[in-house]
Amino acid sequence: MDPILEFFKRDRFAEMIGVELLEARPGYAKGKVDIRPEHLNGFRAVQGGVIFTLADFVMAGASNADGRLAVAINASINYIKSGYGKVLYAEAKETSSNPKLASYEVLVTNDQGETIATMQGLAYRKKDTLTEIVEKMPD
């Protein structure tokens, strides 16, 4: 299995929510969440926190896919349309980068291809590699 996809399977919160990283390569990632009843808010649309978690998680995949630890330092989301459907998808693309900072645009769509949200994020690239971080972490 892809080591980046394997690394992100360690994220217990994403696992609990049901967010899955489908693809990750430097500067790009794609993921999804199958909508469950517990994802819905009072008027039966997907809760905004689920949408944000999906977008944030996919941005993390794109920003960490080169094997160097990157953490989000800013994220701004715009909810375009209520989240209805069986599945939500997110696709993150790097729009600019330098050795310390990288900018990302994330598009969240439903299973009908409708735009649900857009997110812009900024990641800070640390010196540590993902391998070094995993070796230091308890299970």
Q: Which domain holds residue 98?
A: 3-136
CATH number for 24: 3.10.129.10
pLDDT above 90 (res 6): no
Q: What are phi and psi of 10, to 5 degrees?
A: -75, -15
Question: What's the structural domain count of the chain?
Answer: 1
Please, which pLDDT band fits residue 138 given cuts at 50, 70 and 90? low
Instruction: Check if the beta carbon of residue 78 is closer than 8 Å to that of residue 106.
Output: no
Quick one: pLDDT at residue 57? Answer: 97
Token pair, residue 56, equals 């944030």
- What is this structure's pTM? 0.92
